[in-house]
Amino acid sequence: DAKSHAPGSVRFFVARLGEQVRRRLVLERDLREAIERGQLELHFQPKVSLRDWTVTGFEALLRWNHPEHGPISPVEFIPVAEESGLILQMGEWALGQACLEAARWPDPLQVAVNISPVQVMAQNLPDAVQRALQRSGLAPHRLELEITESVFINETRGTVERLHALGRLGVQIALDDFGTGYSSLAYLRRFPFDTLKIDRAFVRELLISRDARSIVRNILALAQSLRMSTVAEGVEEPMQVSVLEAEGCDMVQGYYASRPMPARDVIEFVLNWGERHRPDRPRDFDLAN
Ligand code: C2E
Ligand code: MG
Ligand code: MG
Ligand code: MG
């Protein structure tokens, strides 16, 4: 009857739950197939220096265009890949592909690849990184690995050692989504990340909330004292750029500079970049805010 199928009823809840489980199983099956058939793609989003407004590199982001369901967000399929173990194969593909692309870019440009904590804990990540570098011929310092702080959630004695093993390959290591996790500050003392990426959540509030601005200011001070470079994520508006510049952030990434783009557009994007898009320097808005 209609009542037991109303939202909030137990039957409704069970039906919805069944739906979710089914979608997850279907996603896992289809994802496995997509990997085997080469249906995943990488898109690339630029990082821009606030010192001279040049593009310093690009972050590789996985894209999956499902044959029936259309584009599926990595926010949905990465967890499925992590829980099923598919992330190992998928991550290795992304790493290899990103390095092959970057090897064709003008020399100082870097590529950043997101690495799941599941990959960090798998013994062979340094081997996979080494292989990707060798096959592509990309110099190690042009590769950056972005790792989220959830890598420390189930921290074992091996975690920090594994990060050091990666660092010894000569690649850069960035802490992604900083500030959203658990006791973030403690992790910074455990491992010397090269770069800290300030989560989009703070950038979103930057122009609205004094608290967000003072948190960003303090994150930047902390990063500077630990000699880490800083990237602000999710920068969409020129005023955000101005405030981040005034606060001393090193780089910005976000729709303001560009949305992620297919690999074939990268080189032309860099050639056309110039200095045209730079917003006005901060002038008369309230810096003490
Ligand atoms: P992330 O590494 O923090 O990547 C940034 C996300 O923010 C990307 O979402 C990007 O498209 C989006 N973004 C960039 N600029 C803006 C902006 O100005 N405004 C807004 N609203 N969003 C912006 P995307 O591509 O959907 O990826 C989501 C997450 O999925 C990534 O977050 C990352 O954690 C994960 N992911 C993506 N590709 C990979 C991969 O190859 N391996 C792994 N392990 N994770 C990946
Ligand atoms: Mg990232
Ligand atoms: Mg991020
Ligand atoms: Mg983020």
Helix (H), strand (E), coil (C) string for 144-173: EEEEEHHHHCCCCHHHHHHHHHHHCCCCEE
DSSP reduced 3-state for 279: coil
Ligand (nearest to CA of 253) = 1
pLDDT averaged over every residue in the chain: 90
Helix (H) or strand (E) holding 86: helix 86-102
Residues with CB under 5 A from ligand 2 (ion): 114, 146, 176
> pLDDT for 160-214, tens place per residue?
999 999 999 999 999 999 988 766 677 888 888 999 999 999 999 999 999 999 9
Give the pLDDT of residue 275: 63
> pLDDT for 112-122, tens place per residue?
999 999 999 98
Percentage, residues of the chain above pLDDT 90 = 74
CA 84 – CA 78 distance, rounded (Å): 10
Residue 76, sorted as left (phi over 0), alpha (psi -120 to 50) or beta, turns out to be: alpha
Q: Specify burial of residue 60 (Cβ count, 10 A radius: 0-12, 13-18, 19+).
A: buried
Residue nearest to atom 23 of ligand 1 (CA): 234
Residue nearest to atom 15 of ligand 1 (CA): 254
Alpha carbon separation from 55 to 48, 158, 200, 234 (Å, rounded): 4, 35, 19, 16
Which atom belonging to ligand 1 lies closest to the Cα atom of 82?
44
174 C-alpha to center of ligand 2: Å? 9
Q: Report ipTM for this prediction.
A: 0.98
Give the pLDDT of residue 4: 55
Among 61, 151, 205, residue to substitute to test ligand 1 (most atoms within 8 Å of Cβ): 61
Give the pLDDT of residue 150: 86
- Mean pLDDT by runs of 10 across the 289 residues of the chain is 61 73 89 94 98 96 93 95 95 98 96 96 92 98 95 83 94 93 76 94 94 94 95 97 96 97 97 78 50
DSSP reduced 3-state for 262: strand
Give the pLDDT of residue 282: 56
Which amino acid, one-letter code, is at 159? T
Pocket of ligand 1 from Cβ distances under 6 Å: 45, 61-62, 73-75, 78, 91, 94, 114-116, 146, 176-177, 233-236, 254-255, 260
Give the pLDDT of residue 183: 62
Give the pLDDT of residue 5: 62
pTM: 0.92
CB 172 within 8 A of CB 145: yes
Residue 285, sorted as left (phi over 0), alpha (psi -120 to 50) or beta, turns out to be: beta
Among 48, 114, 252, residue to substitute to test ligand 1 (most atoms within 8 Å of Cβ): 114
The first and second tokens of residue 61, run together, are 């982001």
Q: How many CB atoms are closer than 10 A to CB 30?
A: 19
